[in-house]
């Protein structure tokens, strides 16, 4: 740039600043800046000066540091893979859905498993009565897996499986089902999530403690690298972190730090980094912060290349970050749900502009129930329209050279790298997770976000602004949990009758021995056991004998919601009501926030617990995975006035009436029960008839629910 051009640009910028100041609040142009939750300042105007010193602003796609994409031609030659993440009820029903989706333009299968399977329980286990076939497909054995992929050619269709806790028997079942379909392991393509560290932070579908879980991951990376060269051995997932409340910088930093830890684990098994690193993949959530999401994905590739160079990786495939993306489920609203079609479209475009390799678009009704065929078609067609009607795919990384995007990419990379360095100073991500620090960071971000929404500072159209006077009812998919469980148990009994139990017991004993003395490869041994018809629960139990089951702490953050809630008048009035209750009854209103069954998604539960505590309630948090009987017993022992059940996995029709019955059975039917989470409106009447005193769906301001709960407690005391 010549001195005259520099002089002209500076003069123009000064003129713009004066013009903008006339309409800026207080005449201050800086007041137009947007302070993101990540601590990044986004200006209303960027110029060439903002990108002058950036080291990577002029790189090319397909070349280090891959900021502009892992492939040289990106979508101009091959668009991203369209995936439809789904699984519900039985293997038969899910298989029918997959085949229909593939025929209608889907290009890969993504499997959602039910929570019983995630947690390594067979469908006949007494702890999973309300979870079988809910929020995913029930898989107990290779016979279920064979039905799941019936008439889906596994040598041609890539399969993504979201599985972490019971990853060994589930991946083994897939391998054996393919073998019995005539497809050898070396022809299988797809991804197993196999990302256990994030489970301890957010999603909680773990089984074993962190250390043995890391051993399992190492064995899977080793086995797949040597026997399944087309298969991605791990999908390092930030998705569930953002869904649990993490901002984009936290999601980016923690996910890459997890990836770094997995690389260390594989190298510790004696593997060369270039032997396996090319089959690692990532998985991001794409929310409504459009610019930040695009910048996050570009920054992710930049930082992963830097991290892998630190491991002395030499193969270009080891240096490039490849990713799947899914539009946000948390951003979907129960209120005015057709708005969700627009939200998903915006998020899908952010994923595409960020350079994803595959994409799942959520259905508009997922804040209400499992998606219907109608809503799934709209979600899938959203991607087809972007791919085939817009010509967006014709240009590689169209945001390149944008003053704003290049600067924002670097700012995002810097913010994430600072967090990664903090994690490294703690000794790595396993220690950061073990200490509870990482989980609390995400929970604090979630509480702050919810407070901004509840106070109206962050607008959600149809929820806290432009609300409908009356909501129309949306058709929702309903799963008959009892019928699904009965069918699964019948199939389990048949499998056990027709197998050689002596051989099965020997194969399971071999798994236990390998876990005990740290020998062999656990995936190899699981495949051998599953070939003999060992079940998911039996393989999981064989490891639990040695490793035990992980028990999470029930910590909560304090003060965060109150600090971010920007509506002091109503907040203070409610606090005074709670103080008045304490004076009148000699103690504060006491509530227990609980999760029942195997639903580990605890964002809502933790945010409600934090906000209620900040208001002045005494708050207990029940441990995850309680049975109704255990929950009732704890509520009585803690002498609570109310139990709040958080439900996100469709088990409410079974588990909520059960907790009410248990309280009555144990002589405590004066304890009121309220419910929050994803509950179709057509189920409200049934829950009220069962004895529920309040139902607070997605989008209910927490102070409003707290006021109602306080009134219900008062009424129960009279």
Catalytic residue positions, numbered:
85, 239-240, 595, 599, 601
**In whole angstroms, how far apart are CA 223 and each of 174, 196, 217, 558?**
14, 17, 10, 44
Angle of helix 568-585 relative to helix 702-717, nearest 10 degrees, comes to 20
Dihedral angle, C-alpha 351, 356, 359, 361, nearest 10 °: 0
Dihedral angle, C-alpha 175, 180, 182, 185, nearest 10 °: 20
**How many Cα atoms within 13 Å fall on the side-chain side of residue 274?**
7
Distance CA 701, CA 697 (A): 10
DSSP count for the chain of H helices, then E strands: 28, 16
List b or e across 187-205, with b for residues whose CB sees 16 or more CB atoms inside 10 angstroms: bbbbbbbbbbbbbbbbbbb
How far does CA 234 lie from the centroid of its chain? 15
Using alpha carbons, select from 703, 700, 708 the residue that is nearest to residue 674: 708
Specify which residues 137 forms β-bridges with.
Answer: 89, 113
616 neighbors 639 (Cβ within 8 angstroms): no
Distance CA 718, CA 715 (A): 6
Specify which residues 285 forms β-bridges with.
Answer: 326
**Terminal-residue alpha carbon distance, the chain:** 79
Specify which residues 669 forms β-bridges with.
Answer: none
SS3 of 332, please? coil
> Structure tokens of 224?
């797949």
183 neighbors 222 (Cβ within 8 angstroms): no
SS3 of 331, please? coil
Dihedral angle, C-alpha 14, 20, 21, 22, nearest 10 °: 120
Angle of helix 536-547 relative to helix 210-227, nearest 10 degrees, comes to 130
Distance CA 107, CA 345 (A): 19
SS (H, E, C) 103-144: HCCCCEEEEEECHHHHCCCCCCCHHHCCCCCCCCECCCCHHH
644 neighbors 694 (Cβ within 8 angstroms): no
Neighbours of 456 (CB within 10 A): 14
**Sheet bearing 590-594, strands edge to edge:** 618-621, 590-594, 642-647, 672-677, 694-696
SS3 of 669, please? coil
How far does CA 517 lie from the centroid of its chain? 34
591 neighbors 620 (Cβ within 8 angstroms): yes
Which run of H or E residues covers position 235?
Answer: strand 234-237
SS (H, E, C) 269-302: CCCCHHHHHHHEEEEEEECCCHHHHHHHHHHHHH
SS3 of 500, please? coil
Residues recorded for the chain = 718
């Amino acid at each position: 740039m010549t001195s005259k051009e520099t002089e002209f640009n500076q003069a123009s910028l000064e003129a713009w600043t004066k013009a903008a100041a006339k309409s800026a609040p207080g005449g201050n142009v800086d007041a137009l800046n947007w302070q993101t939750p990540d601590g990044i300042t986004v200006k209303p105007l960027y110029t060439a000066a903002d990108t002058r010193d950036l080291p990577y602003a002029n790189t090319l796609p397909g070349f280090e540091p891959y900021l502009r994409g892992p492939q040289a031609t990106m979508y101009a030659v091959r668009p991203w893979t369209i995936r439809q993440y789904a699984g519900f009820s039985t293997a038969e029903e899910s298989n029918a859905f997959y085949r229909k989706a593939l025929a209608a333009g889907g290009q890969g299968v993504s499997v959602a498993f039910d929570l019983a399977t995630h947690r390594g329980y067979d469908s006949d286990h007494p702890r999973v009565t309300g979870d079988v076939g809910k929020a995913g497909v029930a898989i107990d054995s290779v016979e279920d897996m064979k039905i799941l992929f019936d008439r889906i050619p596994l040598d041609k269709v890539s399969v993504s499986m979201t599985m972490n806790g019971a990853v060994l028997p589930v991946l083994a079942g897939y391998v054996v089902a393919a073998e019995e379909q005539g497809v050898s392991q070396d022809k299988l393509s797809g991804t197993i999530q196999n990302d256990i560290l994030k489970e301890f932070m957010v999603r909680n579908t773990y089984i074993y403690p962190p250390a043995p879980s890391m051993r399992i991951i190492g064995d899977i990376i080793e086995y797949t690298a040597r026997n399944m060269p087309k298969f991605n051995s791990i999908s390092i997932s930030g998705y569930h972190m953002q869904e649990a409340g993490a901002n984009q910088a936290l999601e980016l930093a923690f996910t890459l730090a997890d990836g770094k830890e997995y690389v260390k684990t594989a190298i510790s098994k004696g593997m060369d980094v270039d032997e396996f690193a090319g089959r690692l993949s990532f998985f991001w959530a794409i929310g409504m912060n459009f610019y930040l999401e695009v910048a996050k994905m570009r920054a992710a590739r930049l930082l992963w290349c830097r991290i892998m160079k630190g491991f002395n990786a030499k193969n270009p495939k080891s240096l490039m970050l490849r990713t799947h993306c899914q539009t946000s489920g948390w951003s979907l609203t129960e209120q005015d749900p057709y708005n969700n079609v627009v939200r998903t479209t915006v998020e899908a475009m952010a994923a595409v502009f960020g350079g994803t390799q595959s994409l799942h678009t959520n259905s508009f009704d997922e804040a209400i129930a499992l998606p219907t065929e109608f809503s799934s078609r709209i979600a899938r067609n959203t991607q087809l329209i972007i791919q085939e009607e817009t010509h967006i795919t014709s240009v590689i990384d169209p945001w390149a050279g944008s003053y704003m995007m290049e600067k924002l990419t670097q700012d995002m990379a810097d913010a994430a790298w600072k967090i990664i360095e903090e994690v490294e100073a703690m000794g790595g991500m396993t220690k950061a997770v073990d200490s509870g620090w990482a989980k609390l960071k995400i929970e604090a971000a979630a509480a702050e976000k919810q407070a901004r929404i509840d106070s109206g500072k962050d607008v959600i159209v149809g929820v806290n602004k432009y609300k409908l006077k009356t909501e129309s009812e949306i058709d929702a998919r309903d799963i008959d949990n009892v019928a699904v469980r009965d069918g699964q148990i019948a199939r389990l009994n048949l499998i056990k009758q027709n197998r050689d139990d002596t051989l099965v017991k020997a194969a399971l004993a071999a798994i236990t021995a390998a876990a005990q003395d740290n020998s062999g490869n656990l995936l190899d041994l699981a495949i051998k056991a599953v070939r003999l018809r060992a079940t998911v629960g039996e393989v999981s139990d064989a490891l639990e004998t040695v490793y035990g089951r992980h028990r999470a702490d029930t910590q909560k953050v304090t003060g965060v919601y109150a600090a971010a809630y920007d509506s002091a008048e109503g907040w203070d009035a409610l606090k005074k009501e709670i103080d008045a209750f304490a004076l009148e009854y000699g103690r504060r209103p006491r509530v227990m926030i609980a999760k029942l069954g195997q639903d580990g998604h605890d964002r809502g539960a933790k945010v409600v617990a934090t906000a209620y505590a900040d208001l002045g309630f005494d708050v207990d948090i029940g441990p995850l995975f309680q049975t109704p009987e255990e929950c009732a017993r704890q509520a009585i022992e803690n002498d609570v006035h109310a139990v709040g059940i958080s439900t996100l996995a469709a088990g409410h029709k079974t588990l909520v009436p059960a907790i009410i019955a248990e309280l009555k059975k144990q002589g405590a039917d004066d304890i009121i029960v309220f419910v929050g989470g994803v509950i179709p409106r057509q189920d409200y009447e049934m829950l009220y008839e069962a004895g529920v005193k309040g139902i607070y769906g997605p989008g209910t301001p927490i102070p409003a629910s707290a006021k109602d709960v306080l009134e219900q407690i008062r009424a129960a005391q009279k």
